[in-house]
Structure 1
């Protein structure tokens, strides 16, 4: 049985929906990331034994097993297989879990967990031809499946979160992201500016280093007239890709590679489908218990800011040091390309621990229909 370690983790910058990557196919974004990953790691692509890919909207240019298409487009040998999975927002975090579990089982020496999503070119719900009305009526009689925005409002009700609380977290997310002096996990990636000229992005497109609090407060709520959730305190719709190279530690070190981190726990949980975004709370508790640590032992935490109310309710329950939570900002600022975000947050987590000489990190993500994924890693 092997010890699974992270050798390298990268992501593209996250582009706005309809922004810099509007003319870039998702399979091309994924190919760019896969090629950049192995080049940065210094690994020959012939050594990769599987590529596990997260993608939520598997339709159009993201259909037909986009993971395999990305592998072929990246110029990997045809002998390198790939699979595409959908655990909704946790898809590429789950891809990393599956890759690392294959390594730990001794089935492989090198595997990649990755993800991609172009919310511009493959809009949400296009895989089912519409919204919730396309789901099985018998299922809807059994479970109250609602839009995540309404779930976020119910979370605000239950935890007493105000509009001001949500807007404050949003402003902090942008300020932290805008205040970064380094973006080590990002692969500079070619896109287009507003005029259609080719540009190379090296930072996330949606970050606003300076937030006008009066303009944020003036934004209309989206899901309830007297609600909390606005476009300003929810994650941005985005385009991007991410990839994490996982290896057997003994093999990687024998090949002259330097592992960056090892896995202490991997968790996936189910939770209330109506509240649907609160799974981050039991997932965090389970991941910490499996790792044998407490929330106070963590040096860096990445929680996906799908909505500000998710992060705020989680913080109310777990009581973390908020200075260690999303220190470089979160999805409200840098965006949330659904299938790519999990790998992207892992890349941020690894880079953040390296940047601060930290040891222990947590990544946790809420997932549609009431699920969550969580990972605890230890920097080597």
Structure 2
């Protein structure tokens, strides 16, 4: 049976939406950059690509999960350690672009040439004391604050999927095996739960056994 494997990936650094490095960069530019680098990383000619699937996301609806301050702190700390150790370097392809900078004092918007090399969305200086001072955005009886909510980010990622036999002939070491995919929807006020729904459908379609701990 023919099997598909992932042989290359590439992604842009994540930038803060509206104020970050990519606030003046079209999504197609971000997409083209990572696609080109993923293809180059696979060592194949662009004319060999038979199909290209692009997607875009934008968070909608309130984030309703109760994310503990401690989890937010640990997440920031782990990301900072990984950045300092260069663990993201191999998957990131830097991108030079033009950023819009707004001066609050003068009301003037200027352009700034930037080269983004790493994710700029995380906050390495986060402390538990700082998180405790943040007020819930939906009221005192709620849980989501600026410190534990999903941040709006700009960026793109791409991967190259090809026939396993061909990958072997090219001497390419697969990063993973592509067994199938699924599409599922949910109410917009339940943002974040969607991947769980299509994951279950994909597992069912591929006759894969679902680990019991996935349900908890």
TM-score band w.r.t. shorter chain: 0.7 to 0.9
SS in 1 for 2:7: strand
Gap regions ≥5 residues in structure 2: 102-109
1:223 aligns with 2:138: yes
Among candidates 257, 271, 292, match of residue 172 of structure 2: 257
Matched residue count: 200
Two-structure CA RMSD over aligned residues (Å):
2.9
- The 1:268/1:237 distance shift into structure 2, 3 A limit, reads same
Within 5 Å, give how 1:1-380 maps onto structure 2. Answer: 2-17=2-17, 18-56=19-57, 147-149=61-63, 152=64, 155-156=65-66, 166-180=68-82, 181=85, 182-183=87-88, 184-191=90-97, 197-264=112-179, 266-271=181-186, 274-275=189-190, 277-281=192-196, 283-284=198-199, 290-292=207-209, 294=211, 317-318=215-216
TM-score by length of 2: 0.77
Task: Check the 8 A contact 1:264/1:291 in 2, yes or no.
Answer: no
TM-score by length of 1: 0.46
Give the superposition deviation at 1:167: 1.5
Task: Check the 8 A contact 2:203/2:210 in 1, yes or no.
Answer: yes
Quote the Cα distance in structure 1 between the aligned partners of 2:96 and 2:212.
39
Quote the Cα distance in structure 2 between the aligned partners of 1:202 and 1:260.
23
Give the superposition deviation at 1:175: 0.9
Task: Check the 8 A contact 1:16/1:239 in 2, yes or no.
Answer: yes
Structure possessing the higher radius of gyration over alpha carbons:
2
SS in 1 for 2:126: coil
Quote the Cα distance in structure 2 between the aligned partners of 1:201 and 1:210.
20
Gap regions ≥5 residues in structure 1: 57-87, 90-123, 125-146, 157-164, 297-313, 319-380
SS in 2 for 1:236: coil
Indicate the structure whose relative CO is greater, using CA pairs within 8 Å and at least 6 residues apart.
2
| Structure number with higher helix proportion | 1
Give the superposition deviation at 1:204: 0.3
Give the superposition deviation at 1:202: 2.0
Quote the Cα distance in structure 2 between the aligned partners of 1:276 and 1:198.
34
